[in-house]
Each structure stands twice: as structure tokens, then as C-alpha cells.
A and B are shown apart, each in its own frame.
Chain A
Amino acid sequence: MMNVKTDMKEDSRKTKQNAVTVYFTKFGVLVMIAALAGIGMMVSPNFMSWKNLLNILNAVSYLGIVATGISFVIYAGQYGDLSAPMTMAMSGVICVEFMRYGLIYGIIAAVLTGVIIGLINGFLVGKLKTNAIIWTLAMNFILEGLVRWSYKGTQIYPDMANAKTYTTGFFLPLMAKLDPNILKLDLKSKAAAFNGLAATYPLGLPLVLFVMFAVMIIGFIVMSKTTFGNQLKVVGSSYNVGKMSGINCTKTIMLAFVASSVCASIAGIFLTSLNQVGAFYIGQGYDFIAVTAIILGGMSLAGGRGSIVGVFGGVFTLGLISNILTLFGIGTFTQKMITGVIFIIVVAVNASSLRKLGRDYA
């Protein structure tokens, strides 16, 4: 007779997170912010002053706009939008080209550029199911090539208006052909209006800060209160479930990419205005740092988990880290290194804690 083992071993795997872990994953960013604020207060008495906090927020406001956009892509279960840096640069350049007809035209043209880039990305990733990382990287290279090739390696200044300006660029030669009087346009006041975008202080606060909060509030409402947000959550958590329940997955992913590119465009306009020059290197490095902020804010790379509040927390944390390291007298490049290490550690801890529950692969 076979010896049948009747008493099966009880399944000892964990099915529930303990309370500490739950609170840490939920409010992890807040804990980090509190800890960093404590360190900051110890380092410098001026740290908690209103002025310093405002400086920190102002420094990360561009990042906040970009991160809000990219968080939609990550929420949809695609690993990120690496074409954000060149989307920023390209929109800045387009805005400078079109602002000679008026600032509002420049902004509309730049946002339209973002929409088109987002649609292309979304079609490739959503419809043809290209790997999002590879495709957005390729898109970034194409856009970089386009900007550099059409400008022959030169830069565009908002107030530059000689005959040579109209020989390079995307639409500038066309503009010169259509309207020969374009050289007589008064660019001084328009350039001042464009450059003033980043230097306007309504209510004593920089305009970018208001834009960041506006983008984040809209993002928060769209992500957590609308049908589109719920669909995004389903598609992000499980693509097949979304498909089976009748969601148009292609459209959802496309819209997520459009949101990302439009946010990058808005940030690009402000960053170009801040630098007062349009060039291909505007916005370099924003892709990685935005992903860092999003992951720090508790959004899961597997998709469908996290919130814009967390993203804001992540962005603010990065600002705090940079501020404190500067107070310690640590240089920019070492700061970069430390940020990278923190990022890797946070991701690894997050992944391992989720894996212990058998929940996640990201």
C-alpha cells in the first residue's frame, strides 16, 4: 500500500501586510518628508522658513509638471515616457517660433506639438504593443535629430530677428516665404512677454508654481474621480481584464501618452522661457528624475497603483533632498549620485516587500 500523507502542511505564506508596512507604503513619502525636514532643521535654522520652502517648491515645479504627466503612463502599466526631454525641447522651440504672431499662438502650437507626439507614442504602444521603453527612447532620438538637424546645431533666441534666423528652423523658412514683411515685426515686446512667463509673480508667487498645482489638481481629479481614470486603473492593473470588460485599451493608453506629452510641453514652454533660449538640450535628464519622483511617491511600476498626491510628495522629497545636500555643501554631481542610490534602494525595498506577498513583479 502507498503511504498517503493525510495531514497536509499548512500554507504558511503571508497573505496580509502587517500594519506598519501598510502605513509605510501608504504614507511612506510623508515619513520621508518629515525625516528630511527634521534633518534640515538640524542643519540650518532657516530651513523651515517660508522663503526656503518656497524656493524648494519653485525649484521642483518644472519637475512636478512633467512627473504628473508621466505618472499617467506609469499608472497605465507602461514603464515610462522617455521622450519627455525632447518633447520639452521641441515644444519650447516651436513656441519660440510661433510667439512672433503672439504669445498665445506660441503656446497653442507648442501644446499641439505635444498632442501629436503623444498620439504617435500612444498609437505605437497602445495599438502595435511596442515596448514602451524602446519606442519612447527611439522617439526621443528622432526628435533630437529633428531639432538638431533643422537648426543645424544652432539655438533660437526669442528676440533674435535678423535675416539669418529665417534660414533654419521648422517653420521659420516657411513663415519668411509666406510673409516677406516678417523681418519688420517688432519682436522686442513679444520676446519680453515670452521671457516674462517664467518671471511673473502673481500674488508674490511664481506663475510656474500655480501652473504646477493646477496641473496636479486636474491630474488628481482625472485620475481618481473620472471614468477615464478608473479605466486607466483597470488597464494598468491588468491589460487582459480591461480588454475583456470592454474597455477600449488602445484609446486609454493613447490618452495617457497624450497627457504625458502635453504636460511635458507645458513644462518645456516654461523651461525655455526661463533659459531664454530654445535648444535641443533643454529638459535633458527630466525623464529619469521624473520617474524617480513617481516611484518615490509610491506609484507601482506594474501600473494601477498610486496617486497624484504621492507624486507631489515624491517631487517635494527630491526638492528637500537637493536642498539639504546643498546645505551640507555637496556638489551637483555627487547629489546626482546620491539621488540615484536612494532611487535604487527605494525601488528594491518596495519590490521585495510586495514580492513577499506574492503580489507584484515590478
Chain B
Amino acid sequence: MRKTKNTSNVLVLKRFDNSKIFESLNDNRIYVFLILVFIIMSIGKPQFLGPGNIVPMIKTSLLPILVGIGFTYVMIGGNFDLSVGAVINVGACIVMGEFNRFFAIFGGDAGGTKVLVLSWVIAIAVALAAGAAVGLINGLLVAKGKVHSFIVTIGMLTTLSGFVYTYCKGNTISADNSKFVDILEKPFLNVPYLQVITIRFVIVVIVLVFFEILLLRTKWGRALLMVGSNKEASWQAGINTDKKIIWSFVISSCTAALAGILFAISMNAAVPNYGERGINPLMLVLAATIIGGTVMTGGSGSVVKTAAAVITIQSIFNGLIMMGLGFDAQVLAAGVLLALVVIYESYSLYKQGLKKGERVALLEEAAELKAKKKIAKSNA
């Protein structure tokens, strides 16, 4: 924001005020966008606001919201994590496979509830640990090995998708005992609209709020933001930049694995190729993160805004289906939306880059001179 000493210069002040309003609008554009989409869709199709649409819409948003948390963290640190799509499958397949293994070892249905709980706890712990390990490897290679994050994570993506197919032997895995599935998806209150509140929903909301507070209200989170905006300066300020970046990758892989775990348990099925033929979760999350206002070069962003962007995109999808446009139109819409936002973001950065060498004082002087000349001209 430019500061003007010469307050009498009305022209400059006006520009100042406009840009302030525009900036705050641009910062919160995702909420404006969300409300706009809801208004347009509900005018076009009144049943859009009915519980029959809202509840499934939010339920399908839960997976990308969780993945978006980690993706936003990594992008804030100035990197990309393209491996999230594969980590979802890793989390999903491992939790199902390990549950079946431990359930069988502990004696199966004969063991009662105790065995069931124990098997689930071990399986979830193993799946989360696998996610954390992936994130640790990514983070170490990026932060300590100084390899570009794109290369590391795209290599990880291939490795993991090969691993998942080998782990599942190409099959769908289901749990041998589906009791937990029913618990996870059972709504607390059987009231319209509030049916959405299940244990899965509560877990996602808690994780979301935790990471938002961690990012924006704690010293640790502010340090991560600083690392993203200027690595050199934050290193000078005494922040352990490598550690921050490694942690951001670990968080990313863990949230993606958790998303896969919850999704697999709620569906009682894990496939090795989720999202390969349909809408790629990576595409959805990438679009949501950028629409949600996370800067592509890092240094600024918010997890809740990413979540709002996921819901926005998901409501556009549902609206398109209600208009009878079908699944293929969704893929196109998601791509176009992502492209438009990328173009808008890079265009504004390009504009900023043009202004980089601009000397404000000189420009003001020139404007004053011009005004004086104008006055002299009108006097003459």
C-alpha cells in the first residue's frame, strides 16, 4: 500500500481509497463468489437450496476440504504437492487392508467390540503413519535436498500409484466388518439440513478449525507465512525454514491420508484408482486453493477460504447436474474455472511487475506539473 504525504492531492487519495475497498473485496472474493453462486443457482433451480441437495453436496465436499488443508499449507510455504491424489489412495487402501489383516489376527467377529476397536485404531494409525512418512520424504528432499517440489512430488505420485496397485493387487478392498461404517455416517439429529452432522463431518470441522488457528493465530503459523513470502528474510530473522517446509509437507500428506481413510471407511470400499477416470481430486483442490486466495508463490492464504472454495466448486457442479448438463460438463467447468483464476492471478502479478520500477514521487510530480499546465492553459 502506498502512503502519501501530500494529503491535499485529491487524485492520489481517491486512488488510494478505491484500491483499499477493492483489495478487501479481492481478499474475501471467495465468500462473495460463494453467495453469488448460491443466489444464481437458487433462482434457476429452487430445489438447489433443499436438504436433498445441500446435504449430499457438503458430504462430497468433505474429502477435498481435508486435502485442501494440507495443499494450502504447502502452497503457503512456496511449494506444490502434486502427490496428494496418490496419498488419498494410499490412506484408503492401507486402512482397509490393515484392518482386515489385524481383524483376522485378533480372532475376527468372535472377539467382540474390543477386537473391532483395536483393529480400527491400529489400521488408522498405520495409514496415518504411512502418510506422514510420505510427507517426511517429500519434505526432506525439498528442504534438505533442494530438489524442486514439483519434481519430487510427481515422482512420488508415480511411485505411490504403483505401490497402491501392488498393495491392492488391482482390486477393491472392503472391510470384513462394517459396524464402524454405520457409526461414522450416522447423523446425530434426524432433522432436515442437520442430517449432515455426522462424526465424519465433526472430525473434518475440528481439523479445519485447528489448522486455521494454527496458521493465523500462532507464532508457528505466522513463521510459515513468512517463510513463504520471503525465505531469505525469515532465515535472517532466525526461523528454521527447512523445518517449516518439512512440516508443511508432513501436514499435507497426513491430511490427504486422513481424507482417504475417512472416505474409505464411510464408503466401506477402497479402490487404487480413485479419481483417475472421474474428476481428479488434485484438480479440484488446486482450483479451490487458488480461488480461495492462496498466492501461487506462497506467503499468504487461509484454510477456511480454501474450504469455502471447495464448497463453491461443488455447488457449481451440482447446479450443472440439476441443469441436466451431465458429468462431462463438470470436468470442463472445473478446468475452465481453474484456468480463469490462474489467468486472473498471473495477470495481476504481471501488472504488479510492470509497476515494479515505478517511482511514485516522480509520477506525482508529473501529475502536479500537468495540473499546473492545465490551469495555466485555462487561465490563458
The proximity string for A residues 134-175 relative to B, scoring 1 for CB distances below 8 Å and 0 otherwise, is 110111011111101101110000000000000000000000
Q: How far is the CA of A314 from the CA of B145 in the complex (A)?
A: 22
Q: Do residues B147 and A351 form an inter-chain contact, with CB atoms below 8 A?
A: yes
Q: Do residues A301 and B151 form an inter-chain contact, with CB atoms below 8 A?
A: yes
Among the stretches B53-61, B203-211, B321-329, the one at the interface with A is B321-329
Q: Do residues B331 and A141 form an inter-chain contact, with CB atoms below 8 A?
A: yes
Q: Do residues B156 and A138 form an inter-chain contact, with CB atoms below 8 A?
A: no
The interface residues of chain A lying within 8 Å CB-to-CB of B154 are 288, 291
The proximity string for B residues 147-159 relative to A, scoring 1 for CB distances below 8 Å and 0 otherwise, is 1101110111111
Q: Do residues B156 and A145 form an inter-chain contact, with CB atoms below 8 A?
A: no
Interface bin, chain B: 35 or more
The verdict on A251 contacting chain B, using a C-beta distance below 8 Å, is no
In the complex, chain B residues 313-359 whose Cβ is within 8 Å of any chain A Cβ:
326-329, 331-336, 338-339, 342-343, 346-347, 349-350, 353
Q: How far is the CA of A335 from the CA of B165 in the complex (A)?
A: 11
Given A137-B286, A334-B162, A340–B155 Cβ distance below 8 Å?
A: yes
Instruction: For residue B239, give the distance in angstroms from its CB to the closest CB of chain A.
Output: 20
The interface residues of chain A lying within 8 Å CB-to-CB of B335 are 138, 141-146
The interface residues of chain A lying within 8 Å CB-to-CB of B155 are 288, 292, 340, 343-344, 347
Instruction: For residue B352, give the distance in angstroms from its CB to the closest CB of chain A.
Output: 11
- In the complex formed, the residue of A with least CB distance to B151 is A347
The verdict on A35 contacting chain B, using a C-beta distance below 8 Å, is no
- In the complex formed, the residue of A with least CB distance to B154 is A288
The verdict on B296 contacting chain A, using a C-beta distance below 8 Å, is yes
Residue of B154, B286, B338 with most partner-chain A CB within 10 A? B154
Given A134-B286, A138-B342, A331-B166, A129–B350 Cβ distance below 8 Å?
A: yes
Q: Do residues B150 and A337 form an inter-chain contact, with CB atoms below 8 A?
A: no
The interface residues of chain A lying within 8 Å CB-to-CB of B162 are 333-340
In the complex, chain B residues 219-242 whose Cβ is within 8 Å of any chain A Cβ:
none
The interface residues of chain A lying within 8 Å CB-to-CB of B346 are 124, 128-131, 135
Q: Is the interface of B mostly helix, strand, loop or mixed?
A: helix
Q: Do residues B332 and A362 form an inter-chain contact, with CB atoms below 8 A?
A: no
Q: How far is the CA of A352 from the CA of B140 in the complex (A)?
A: 12
Q: Do residues B151 and A149 form an inter-chain contact, with CB atoms below 8 A?
A: no
Q: How far is the CA of A42 from the CA of B329 in the complex (A)?
A: 53
Instruction: For residue A78, give the distance in angstroms from its CB to the closest CB of chain B.
Output: 11
Q: Do residues A336 and B161 form an inter-chain contact, with CB atoms below 8 A?
A: yes
Q: Do residues A141 and B338 form an inter-chain contact, with CB atoms below 8 A?
A: yes
Q: Do residues A139 and B339 form an inter-chain contact, with CB atoms below 8 A?
A: yes
In the complex, chain B residues 278-335 whose Cβ is within 8 Å of any chain A Cβ:
280, 283, 286, 290, 296-297, 326-329, 331-335
The verdict on A348 contacting chain B, using a C-beta distance below 8 Å, is yes
Q: Is the interface of A mostly helix, strand, loop or mixed?
A: helix
Q: How far is the CA of A331 from the CA of B165 in the complex (A)?
A: 10
Which of A134, A333, A340, A344 is close to B342, meaning CB atoms less than 8 Å apart?
A: A134
The verdict on A229 contacting chain B, using a C-beta distance below 8 Å, is no
- In the complex formed, the residue of B with least CB distance to A331 is B166
Instruction: For residue A168, give the distance in angstroms from its CB to the closest CB of chain B.
Output: 10
The verdict on A79 contacting chain B, using a C-beta distance below 8 Å, is yes
Q: Do residues A149 and B148 form an inter-chain contact, with CB atoms below 8 A?
A: no
Given A131-B296, A138-B335, A333–B152 Cβ distance below 8 Å?
A: no
By the criterion of a CB under 8 Å from any partner CB, how many residues of chain A are at the interface?
A: 51
Q: Do residues B333 and A339 form an inter-chain contact, with CB atoms below 8 A?
A: no
Which of A80, A141, A289 is close to B150, meaning CB atoms less than 8 Å apart?
A: A80
The verdict on B80 contacting chain A, using a C-beta distance below 8 Å, is yes
The verdict on A361 contacting chain B, using a C-beta distance below 8 Å, is yes
Given A333-B165, A340-B155, A348-B147, A133–B80 Cβ distance below 8 Å?
A: yes
Given A133-B150, A362-B147, A152–B158 Cβ distance below 8 Å?
A: no
The proximity string for B residues 34-69 relative to A, scoring 1 for CB distances below 8 Å and 0 otherwise, is 000000000000000000000000000000000000
The verdict on B141 contacting chain A, using a C-beta distance below 8 Å, is yes
Q: How far is the CA of A331 from the CA of B168 in the complex (A)?
A: 13
Which of A80, A127, A151, A339 is close to B158, meaning CB atoms less than 8 Å apart?
A: A339
The interface residues of chain A lying within 8 Å CB-to-CB of B333 are 145
Q: Do residues A291 and B151 form an inter-chain contact, with CB atoms below 8 A?
A: yes
Given A134-B286, A351-B145, A351-B147, A148–B328 Cβ distance below 8 Å?
A: yes
Q: How far is the CA of A88 from the CA of B253 in the complex (A)?
A: 31
Q: How far is the CA of A131 from the CA of B342 in the complex (A)?
A: 9
The interface residues of chain B lying within 8 Å CB-to-CB of A145 are 328-329, 331-336
The interface residues of chain B lying within 8 Å CB-to-CB of A292 are 155, 158
Q: How far is the CA of A281 from the CA of B163 in the complex (A)?
A: 21
- In the complex formed, the residue of B with least CB distance to A344 is B155
Q: Hey, which bits of chain A sit against chain B, CB under 8 A?
A: 79-80, 124, 127-131, 133-135, 137-139, 141-146, 148-149, 151-153, 281, 288-289, 291-292, 295, 301, 331, 333-341, 343-344, 347-348, 351-352, 355, 361-362
Q: Hey, which bits of chain B sit against chain A, CB under 8 A?
A: 80, 141, 145-148, 150-152, 154-163, 165-166, 170, 277, 280, 283, 286, 290, 296-297, 326-329, 331-336, 338-339, 342-343, 346-347, 349-350, 353
A-B contact pairs, 21 of them (CB 8 A): A130-B343, A133-B80, A134-B290, A137-B283, A138-B335, A138-B339, A142-B335, A144-B331, A148-B331, A153-B327, A153-B328, A301-B151, A333-B166, A336-B158, A336-B161, A337-B162, A343-B158, A344-B141, A348-B145, A351-B145, A352-B145
Q: What 6 pairs across the A-B complex have the smallest Cβ distances? A: A145-B332, A340-B159, A337-B162, A336-B162, A141-B335, A333-B165
